[in-house]
Structure 1
């Protein structure tokens, strides 16, 4: 294989996988309004379970399709209703626990931030470590879930950009694009960085590093 330039690798990544997970679900984080941010928080919780990313995406979509798009609407649901939706959408082994965690999540969001995650943003004041700690105060969201939230929310919360989690940097290192967020951020314009991060995560999940390199070599 001919030597592949980094710009070619980035071009292939953005073209083939350059869509954030929130965007795939129709969640427009650029609006920076409470409902999309809440849906991202739910996705972060769902992805924290030891299940595949596809199951988490399917379950998050089901929550939205059911109409549970705000903390208040989710709080109006019963535990049994949440269990049923989760059970039918890939969470058969974790439906009861996750249904309880979703209820706790809505309660904590209401009590701590009046249902608006922008208040968490204000409290973090641009400190990613503090934001990560505050996110982990939601039951069911650990380090992985907090990282997923920050990874996706940087579309709207520019003060946390560039943010890259372990999965992103693992793929980035394999593709020789850098092993830290600052180095990776130099590969694209700031507005495209969240897309590049998502593309790297998707590449890592699908184990498509070699395929990306092959496609880049053809450019």
Structure 2
């Protein structure tokens, strides 16, 4: 059991698999160096001492990255304009042997990225093992999440920890015995259970993250939950209370939700845009780097047109979404997720080789 914490101040089932060797260094969605994945024994209190120290140096979930707001979105020309990468892309994590001899066509690459084979290829090894051992569990990489789950996951992934630790934390809170699928469930769980969930995830920043998830639930229930969604899963009022203006909605969320900064908002919008179509199409800076590395356009509108151009030849029957427009948005998001996963897992060459031979 984790050591007791001081009370924090108030503030659809998995999509059928839309569908491993680790990178040299842990990869992360942020520009911060990832923390060591090694964890202390349960009786060792150093992990929580580190959490206490982190409270002193971290300001709003994204540490130094939140000096300026970055909440412009699809309706704004600023968000559409491609930003320069803030850091090198680690040589695309491609092997020293170079690119595969046979390059796939754009249609082959898109079709492979949407396949279950690509999903398994870019899945982290520890997640693959977890799925094999536990069966039909919900994962960030292969499940359809609601807006609250996406927001909670974005907060976790925006921490300066490795991507794998972030994914493990998300798997832990989304599945038994916690099932944190909406704001009401998180609030009703209580402080002790939230801390136990993050402790069970064997992650870093566990105490602070548990407190911020609790505060997130409070804010969502208070400010962003509509009468027809009393559990706080859809965040409908984030848009409706801001005249369906995405820039205003994101600014409101950043202002009101402790621990949600620029990186978290970017991750959230990258994933939720198929449901919040006012933000479509959108590609964040981190994913632009990954698209370049794999040979796809990093421009959101050009990638959307590429998907449209090849749509009739793509295998999309398994994708979530009611109607063709929603399925196209979902396909766009899945492509971004698989490309980012391939880059973070050092699987860019493998994806290209498999796509070329498909």
| Separation in structure 1 between the aligned mates of residue 253 and residue 222 of structure 2, nearest angstrom | 14
Q: CA RMSD in A?
A: 2.5
Closer/same/farther in 2, CA of residues 126 and 202 from structure 1, 3 Å limit: farther
| Separation in structure 2 between the aligned mates of residue 199 and residue 67 of structure 1, nearest angstrom | 25
User: Aligned pair 1:206/2:324, yes or no?
Assistant: no
Report the Cα offset of residue 18 of structure 1.
5.4
Closer/same/farther in 2, CA of residues 174 and 196 from structure 1, 3 Å limit: same
Query: Structure 1 residues 207-216 or 161-170, which shifts more?
Result: 207-216
| Separation in structure 2 between the aligned mates of residue 46 and residue 125 of structure 1, nearest angstrom | 28
Mark the runs of 5 or more structure 2 residues left unpaired by the alignment: 1-100, 124-137, 226-231, 309-327
The answer on whether the counterparts of 1:152 and 1:194 sit within 8 Å (CA) in structure 2 is: yes
Report the Cα offset of residue 218 of structure 1.
2.6
- Structure 1-normalised TM-score? 0.82
Deviations 1:51-107 (A, max 9, x none): 22332233223223214332222222332322221011132x311111111111111
Partner in structure 2 of residue 101 of structure 1: 212
Closer/same/farther in 2, CA of residues 73 and 2 from structure 1, 3 Å limit: closer
Mark the runs of 5 or more structure 1 residues left unpaired by the alignment: 30-35
User: Aligned pair 1:56/2:171, yes or no?
Assistant: no
| Separation in structure 1 between the aligned mates of residue 258 and residue 188 of structure 2, nearest angstrom | 19
Partner in structure 2 of residue 197 of structure 1: 336
Q: State the secondary structure of the residue aligned to 1:155.
A: coil
| Separation in structure 1 between the aligned mates of residue 153 and residue 244 of structure 2, nearest angstrom | 22
Closer/same/farther in 2, CA of residues 213 and 69 from structure 1, 3 Å limit: closer
User: Aligned pair 1:17/2:156, yes or no?
Assistant: no
Deviations 1:20-60 (A, max 9, x none): x9x7357545xxxxxx3222221111111122233223322
Greater share of helix: 1
User: Aligned pair 1:43/2:153, yes or no?
Assistant: yes
Partner in structure 1 of residue 286 of structure 2: 167
Q: State the secondary structure of the residue aligned to 1:162.
A: coil
Q: Which structure: larger Rg? A: 2
Aligned pair count?
210
The answer on whether the counterparts of 2:239 and 2:245 sit within 8 Å (CA) in structure 1 is: no
Structure 1 counterpart of 2:108, from 4, 8, 16: 8
| Separation in structure 2 between the aligned mates of residue 112 and residue 17 of structure 1, nearest angstrom | 38
- Structure 2-normalised TM-score? 0.53
| Separation in structure 2 between the aligned mates of residue 69 and residue 11 of structure 1, nearest angstrom | 30
The answer on whether the counterparts of 2:139 and 2:171 sit within 8 Å (CA) in structure 1 is: no
User: Aligned pair 1:184/2:307, yes or no?
Assistant: no
Report the Cα offset of residue 118 of structure 1.
1.0
Closer/same/farther in 2, CA of residues 63 and 24 from structure 1, 3 Å limit: closer
Deviations 1:91-142 (A, max 9, x none): 2x31111111111111111222234511112245554433432332311111
| Separation in structure 2 between the aligned mates of residue 198 and residue 71 of structure 1, nearest angstrom | 24
